[in-house]
């Protein structure tokens, strides 16, 4: 923007005017920073205050408003002026509420906040959204089981065309095999009719849905709004264009052949729950050995699940399924006996009523772990009640309640090249919580027990890719340590690491039919948002609506590939010569590429290396004799910055020597900023980001982990400048750390105070 | 027939309602979000941490609040609830009742009113475990960031002092209950839950000892912004609570109370065990349970807690909790596995009370909807209905599954209003 007309508005409300000399601040803005216009007001957020700004806009006086008042986290909607850029300088939460009034250091901090705001505005351009070419609104759904069918139907009901891809020759998936389904409607007591056939008919009769069975997705390239997919059926490939993708590839039963200790294979009358379903759907339960109806049947729960040797997780549905099968058995034959041997009986929510019903119907529940099942159908139970091993004999049939394995890969396809398997492994870390130790001393106090660590951490699932993504970061949708796909977040179950691609149903988490249908609806909504936002050039969650996007200066780019490797969302591909290409609608605008770029040639219109460098440089650095050190804080805008605001709200006092700049993510931090600070004479720098590791909380996946990695190199730079390495630190700060962050700052400021002043001051 | 209104009304501003509102708005729908209390966040705002990652709920809330602040499609009304609903899908007339906050939109959250206030009221955010000034900010993450003045000071000299302390003309002691009408095309009922009244489980003596607390109170004790600033102590004397009992199914899975399993309490208690163990190295936590229902991937969290040698699992539903002669709560019963009769004294006993849907009694949908015997609203799919449920109004859901149901409800509401 060439004709910037910045107005600085200084708010004296909420006690700011009482604690800070605003006339002196105005002098800084006008005389020193050459702001063309500066006004003071008693309450800028009042109607009168807003009118002052609006009048300046209407009169053509300004096209940028630098509002020095409260934090940008409040009054966000009040300080919005159509078409006018707004920059906020925080004088309330992070100045007067956490530093003494009418104090020299507080005054200097307030002045620097305004200096930084003016410097920010000078490099701030209104982002123009990227909307080149055509955007497709069709949704591809991969998987034609209950989840995929539901997704297809929901998308169609919302007005979207659907391309439904199913690997098998017919629709329905596993659920089509069930005779009856778990109760999901009141009174939750009885197995319900399996209504999947009706859903299949609805889908097949829906003119908006194109069904392709016997088909695989053999290539996926492009980005939200512009995916090109290659579908291969019977050796012939076709290309289709879609706007977003819902992956509903479901599950497969855990391979019972791996459960030899539970008698599978030793006797034909040891069957899996799935095999029992097939019998129920085809004339009733019969022994494979002699075709007779069994009179006594034992159900072995957690057959493979919750077992470090097999599946580490609970498959969720098996307790309900065994109850259903046992109920069907005893109801069809009043003489039959059903025993369910369980470790923990898991019928959460209203399914408790189903459990109660089975108990009333005479199904016997035995608490214990099954040690082994013999070829003679003797089930040896480690009976928790009796505290000893008890053999169950005289059984006619044993049913193994095998668990669910997510189809996060296609088990029938060949595994990918090693490099992609490695890529997949890298994506798995950071991952879900891995049991390792106790909680005392913050989890550091105890050695891991026997049987740990969890075995899946070092394994990758077998099989080929579902979508065959033609992405720099490999063909797979990233998965977690337990083999399931995203999301890792509690509050955002659809937060994906591949924008525009949403997983749902049992590929995401073990779940039953009703929940899968609901989950499908959720994923479809996210797909619709991705399509809509792509067409408008806007980001999706968590920076929803952000129109900025990374721009690469190709004249400077050295094709070093750091941005393509570090992007947490696989948004940047490489041309053959290594030239990075941003797939803009895949991008989530975290800025990790900007932080990665060693030649600092990636930036956003409203957030770039030069802007933050200028903000850092705008701060007035007192000379070494003033004994007023300066400490730069780069704070994650979602956790650390709000924590600092809340330190102010709670009136926690901390050193006024810090100068804080919010960043989109620590991953976006360019090491230039740290070196700029040191060269400008700052005495130290703190990077405040969120928790990394197994329980990572970064919504850009690995920002704080990347920052730590990069920090390790800063130490060497400092040493080469003959400075102490511990002048620059990085700390994990959660949003709830308002008291702790004040303490962290004071301790760091104390340490910096003990060091000599940065000798670069004044150069 | 084309719907008359394309606006979606979301009732309830907890995690389910917030999620439903934002997800619908980010898909382009116009949304009105109603919250009965002064701030969004609902039950999760009062949680210290989430299971299984032990991260803070305010992290996700911050993202969600930023999404709301930047989205022009959402209109938010706090201290507002639905009084009546008439009409049908595509065209509902809804009457909304607001209760007075006595603070208007001019509030800058400067805090002068709170300094002027002299009387204290039980702090609703901390379940009454402490008090707060009669002019108060609900908590540091309140959204909207606006104070509340308790009705008790209206017409008193204190009220007048509070009013004159405000430089921004934001105090309105004359404010009365009001109603206004909305026309909307679809309604998402996300009214959440309340903890089952522990006093109704008489053998557990909740009313007999301050050291017998509920799981939601435990969250506040452990929270940095709670009544003890995160110190897990005995409410009776403020001494560290090093020996703690967690009692599962306090009300749940019990036909005399809540017949269903509340689905979150096992994980909640596993989390509480971690809180205590993280705070005191020499602590001991006993979990009394029927089944530990750490379903699906949450099993990993259970295994992690089990690996801690200071946490013990006792398979038993205690028969009673009595206050011993030394004043300590004592848990009595029979161990289902060892058949031992026990009477174990603790510093505090935490009752893992279940979730009772607000839709069951105090905040029912004022028109006919399909409900089960427990008061959960049976989910509807695109079949012409315009009223949908999300979160615990739909069933006992944890945070993640609440968001799942909310996202699904948002889609179905969009289908309803777009005809």
**pLDDT by residue (tens digit) across A395-427?**
999 999 999 999 999 988 877 666 666 666 666
Residue A452 resides in a domain:
no
- Cα A609 versus chain centre, distance: 26
Q: What is the CATH number of the domain that holds B181?
A: 3.50.50.60
Closest by alpha carbon to A216, among A405, A411, A462, A503? A411
Same domain, B48 and B129: no
Burial (0-12, 13-18, 19+ Cβ within 10 Å), B310: buried
In a mutagenesis test of the A interface, which of B47, B60, B283 is the best target, namely the one with the most A β-carbons within 10 Å? B60
Same domain, A206 and A353: no
Residue A340 resides in a domain:
yes
Q: Which of B335, B353, B371 is the last residue of a domain?
A: B353
Q: The domain containing residue A313 runs over which residues?
A: 258-401
Contact check, Cβ <8 Å, B309/A438? yes
Q: What is the CATH number of the domain that holds A102?
A: 3.40.50
Contact check, Cβ <8 Å, A440/B56? no
Question: What does the pLDDT read at residue B383?
Answer: 57
Same domain, A659 and A566: no
Same domain, B285 and B238: yes
Say whether pLDDT at A483 is over 60. yes
Q: The domain containing residue B279 runs over which residues?
A: 197-353
Same domain, B338 and B366: no
Residue B2 resides in a domain:
no
Q: Which residue of A has its CA nearest to B303?
A: A435
Q: Model confidence at A251, in pLDDT bands (50, 70, 90)?
A: very high
Same domain, B190 and B219: no
Dist. CA A301–CA A313, nearest whole Å: 13
Contact residues, chain A, for B414 at CB < 8 Å: 158, 525
Contact check, Cβ <8 Å, B296/A158? no
Question: What does the pLDDT read at residue A416?
Answer: 67
Same domain, A319 and A395: yes
Contact residues, chain B, for A493 at CB < 8 Å: 400-401, 403-404, 407
Same domain, B183 and B311: no
Same domain, B246 and B317: yes
Same domain, B58 and B190: yes
* Tokens representing residue A548 in the block: 């900025």
Same domain, B203 and B289: yes
Partners of A37 in beta bridges:
A7
In a mutagenesis test of the A interface, which of B132, B249, B261, B360 is the best target, namely the one with the most A β-carbons within 10 Å? B261
Same domain, B149 and B203: no
- Give φ, ψ of A487 to 5 degrees: -115, 155
Contact residues, chain A, for B292 at CB < 8 Å: 344
Contact check, Cβ <8 Å, B109/A74? yes
Q: Which of A586, A603, A620 is the last residue of a domain?
A: A603
Residue A445 resides in a domain:
no
**pLDDT by residue (tens digit) across A51-107?**
999 999 999 999 999 999 999 999 999 999 988 999 999 999 999 999 999 999 999
Contact residues, chain A, for B296 at CB < 8 Å: 313-316, 509-511
Same domain, A527 and A641: no
Contact residues, chain A, for B146 at CB < 8 Å: none
Q: Model confidence at A442, in pLDDT bands (50, 70, 90)?
A: very low
Same domain, A100 and A177: no
**What average pLDDT score do residues B317-323 get?**
98
Same domain, A115 and A227: no
Question: Would you say the C-alpha torsion A258, A263, A264, A270 has a positive or negative sign?
Answer: negative
Q: Which of A62, A97, A126 is the last residue of a domain?
A: A126
Residue B170 resides in a domain:
no
Say whether pLDDT at A362 is over 50. yes
DSSP conformational letter for A349? G
Q: What is the CATH number of the domain that holds A523?
A: 3.50.50.60
Domain tally, chain A: 5
**pLDDT by residue (tens digit) across B173-193?**
999 999 999 999 999 999 999
* Tokens representing residue A438 in the block: 């106790």
Q: Which residue of B has its CA nearest to A306?
A: B299
Contact check, Cβ <8 Å, A346/B110? no
Same domain, A361 and A292: yes
Same domain, B277 and B233: yes
Residue A109 resides in a domain:
yes
**pLDDT by residue (tens digit) across A700-744?**
988 888 888 888 888 888 888 889 999 999 999 999 999 999 999
Same domain, B274 and B379: no
Question: What does the pLDDT read at residue B250?
Answer: 97
Same domain, A238 and A372: no
Say whether pLDDT at A451 is over 70. no
State the average pLDDT for chain A: 92
pTM of the model: 0.96
Closest by alpha carbon to B312, among B339, B341, B279, B276? B276
Domain tally, chain B: 3
Residue B46 resides in a domain:
yes
Contact A41, B101 (CB under 8 A): no
**What average pLDDT score do residues B81-88 get?**
96
Same domain, A396 and A411: no
Same domain, A647 and A743: yes
Q: Which residue of A has its CA nearest to B224?
A: A736
Same domain, B383 and B282: no
Contact residues, chain A, for B145 at CB < 8 Å: 74
DSSP-derived secondary structure for B235-265? TTT--B--EEEEEEEESBT-TTSB-S--SSH
């Amino acid at each position: 923007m060439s004709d910037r007309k910045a107005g600085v508005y200084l708010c004296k409300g909420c006690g700011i005017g009482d604690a800070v000399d605003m006339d002196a601040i105005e002098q800084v803005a006008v005389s020193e920073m050459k702001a063309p216009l500066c006004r003071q007001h008693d309450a800028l957020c009042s109607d009168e205050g807003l009118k002052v700004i609006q009048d300046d806009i209407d009169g053509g006086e300004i096209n940028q408003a630098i509002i020095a008042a409260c934090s940008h986290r409040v009054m966000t909607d009040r300080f919005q002026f159509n078409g006018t850029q707004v920059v906020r300088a925080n004088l309330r939460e992070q100045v007067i509420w956490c530093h003494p009034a009418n104090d020299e250091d507080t005054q200097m901090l307030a002045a620097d906040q305004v200096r930084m705001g003016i410097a920010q505005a000078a490099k701030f351009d209104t982002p123009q959204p990227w909307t080149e070419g055509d955007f497709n609104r069709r949704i591809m759904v991969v998987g034609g089981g209950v989840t995929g069918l539901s997704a297809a139907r929901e998308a169609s009901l919302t007005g979207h065309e659907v391309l439904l891809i199913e690997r098998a020759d017919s629709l329905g998936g596993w659920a089509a095999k069930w005779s009856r389904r778990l109760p999901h409607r009141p009174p939750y007591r009885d197995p319900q009719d399996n209504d999947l056939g009706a859903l299949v008919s609805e889908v097949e009769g829906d003119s908006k849905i194109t069904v392709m069975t016997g088909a695989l997705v053999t290539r996926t390239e492009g980005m939200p709004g512009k995916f090109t997919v290659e579908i291969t059926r019977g050796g012939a490939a076709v290309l289709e264009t879609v706007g977003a993708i819902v992956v509903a590839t479901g599950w497969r039963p855990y391979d019972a052949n791996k459960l030899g200790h539970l008698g599978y294979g030793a006797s034909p009358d040891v069957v899996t729950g799935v095999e029992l379903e097939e019998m129920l759907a085809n004339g009733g339960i019969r022994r494979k050995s002699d075709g007779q109806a069994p009179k006594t049947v034992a159900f072995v729960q957690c057959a493979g699940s919750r077992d470090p040797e097999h599946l580490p997780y609970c498959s969720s549905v098996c307790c309900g399924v065994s109850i259903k099968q046992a109920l069907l058995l005893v109801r069809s034959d009043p003489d039959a006996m059903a025993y369910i041997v369980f470790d923990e009986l898991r019928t959460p929510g209203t399914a408790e009523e189903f459990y109660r019903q089975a108990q009333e119907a005479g199904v016997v529940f035995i608490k214990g772990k099954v040690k082994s099942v013999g070829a003679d159908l003797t089930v040896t139970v480690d009976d928790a009640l009796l505290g000893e091993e008890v053999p169950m004999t005289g059984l006619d049939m044993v049913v193994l309640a095998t668990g669910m394995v997510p189809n996060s890969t296609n088990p029938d396809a060949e595994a990918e090249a090693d490099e992609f398997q490695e890529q997949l492994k890298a994506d798995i870390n950071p991952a879900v919580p891995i049991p390792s130790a106790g909680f005392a001393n913050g989890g550091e106090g105890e050695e891991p027990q026997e049987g740990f660590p969890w075995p899946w951490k070092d394994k990758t699932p077998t099989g080929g890719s579902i979508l065959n993504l033609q992405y720099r970061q490999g063909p797979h949708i990233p998965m977690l340590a337990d083999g399931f796909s995203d999301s890792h977040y509690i509050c955002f179950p659809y937060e994906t690491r591949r924008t525009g691609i949403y997983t749902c149903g049992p590929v995401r988490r073990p779940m039953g039919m009703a929940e899968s249908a609901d989950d499908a609806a959720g994923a479809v909504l996210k797909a619709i948002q991705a399509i809509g936002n792509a067409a408008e050039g806007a980001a999706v969650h968590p920076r929803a609506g952000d129109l900025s996007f990374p721009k690469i200066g190709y004249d400077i780019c050295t094709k070093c590939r750091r941005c393509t490797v570090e992007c947490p969302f696989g948004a940047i591909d490489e041309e053959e010569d290594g030239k990075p290409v941003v797939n803009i609608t895949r991008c989530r605008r975290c800025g990790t590429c900007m932080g990665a770029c060693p030649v600092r040639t990636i930036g956003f219109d409203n957030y770039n290396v030069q802007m933050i460098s200028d903000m850092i440089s705008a701060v007035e650095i007192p000379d070494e004799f003033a004994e007023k050190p300066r400490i730069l804080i780069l704070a994650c805008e979602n956790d650390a910055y709000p924590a600092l605001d809340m330190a102010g709200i709670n009136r926690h006092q901390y050193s006024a020597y810090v100068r804080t700049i919010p960043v989109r993510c620590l991953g976006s931090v360019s090491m230039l900023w740290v070196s700029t600070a040191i060269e400008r004479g700052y005495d130290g720098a703190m990077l405040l980001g969120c928790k990394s590791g197994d329980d990572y909380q970064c919504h850009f996946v690995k920002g704080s982990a990347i920052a730590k990695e990069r920090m390790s190199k800063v130490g060497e730079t400092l040493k080469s400048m003959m400075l102490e390495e511990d002048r620059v630190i990085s700390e994990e700060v959660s949003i709830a750390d308002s008291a702790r962050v004040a303490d962290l700052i004071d301790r760091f400021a104390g340490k910096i105070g003990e060091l000599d002043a940065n000798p670069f001051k004044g150069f | 027939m084309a719907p008359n209104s394309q606006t979606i009304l979301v009732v309830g501003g907890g995690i389910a309602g917030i999620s439903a509102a934002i997800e619908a708005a980010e898909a382009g729908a116009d949304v009105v979000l109603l919250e009965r209390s002064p701030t969004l966040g609902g039950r999760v705002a009062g949680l210290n941490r989430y299971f299984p990652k032990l991260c803070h709920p305010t992290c996700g809330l911050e993202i969600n609040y930023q999404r709301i602040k930047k989205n022009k499609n959402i209109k938010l009304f706090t201290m507002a609830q639905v009084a009546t609903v008439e009409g049908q899908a595509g065209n509902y007339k809804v009457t909304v009742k607001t209760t007075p906050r006595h603070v208007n939109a001019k509030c800058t959250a400067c805090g002068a009113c709170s300094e002027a206030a002299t009387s204290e009221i039980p702090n609703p955010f901390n379940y009454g475990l402490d008090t707060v000034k009669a002019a108060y900010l609900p908590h540091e993450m309140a959204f909207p960031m606006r104070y509340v003045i308790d009705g008790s000071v209206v017409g008193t000299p204190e009220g007048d002092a509070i009013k004159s302390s405000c430089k921004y003309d934001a105090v309105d002691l004359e404010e009365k209950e009001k109603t206004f009408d909305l026309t909307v095309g679809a309604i998402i009922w996300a009214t959440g839950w309340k903890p089952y009244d522990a006093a109704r489980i008489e053998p557990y003596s909740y009313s007999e000892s301050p050291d017998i607390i509920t799981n939601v109170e435990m969250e506040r004790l452990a929270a940095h912004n709670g009544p003890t600033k995160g110190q897990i102590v005995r409410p009776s004397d403020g001494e560290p609570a090093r020996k703690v009992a967690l009692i599962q199914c306090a009300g749940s899975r019990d036909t005399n109370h809540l017949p269903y399993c509340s689905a979150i309490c096992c994980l909640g208690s596993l989390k509480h065990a971690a809180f205590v163990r993280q705070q005191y190295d020499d602590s001991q936590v006993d979990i009394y349970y029927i089944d530990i229902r750490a379903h699906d991937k949450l099993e990993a969290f259970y295994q992690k807690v089990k690996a801690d040698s200071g946490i013990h699992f006792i398979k038993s539903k205690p028969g009673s909790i009595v206050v011993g002669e030394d004043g300590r709560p004592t848990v009595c019963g029979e161990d289902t596995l060892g058949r031992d009769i026990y009477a174990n004294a603790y510093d505090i006993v935490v009752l893992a009370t279940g979730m009772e849907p607000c839709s069951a009694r105090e905040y029912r949908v004022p028109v006919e909807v399909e409900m089960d015997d427990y008061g959960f609203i049976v989910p509807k799919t695109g079949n012409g209905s315009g009223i949908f449920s999300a979160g615990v109004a739909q069933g006992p859901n944890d945070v993640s599954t609440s968001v799942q149901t909310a996202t699904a409800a948002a889609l179905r509401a969009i289908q309803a209003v777009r005809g």
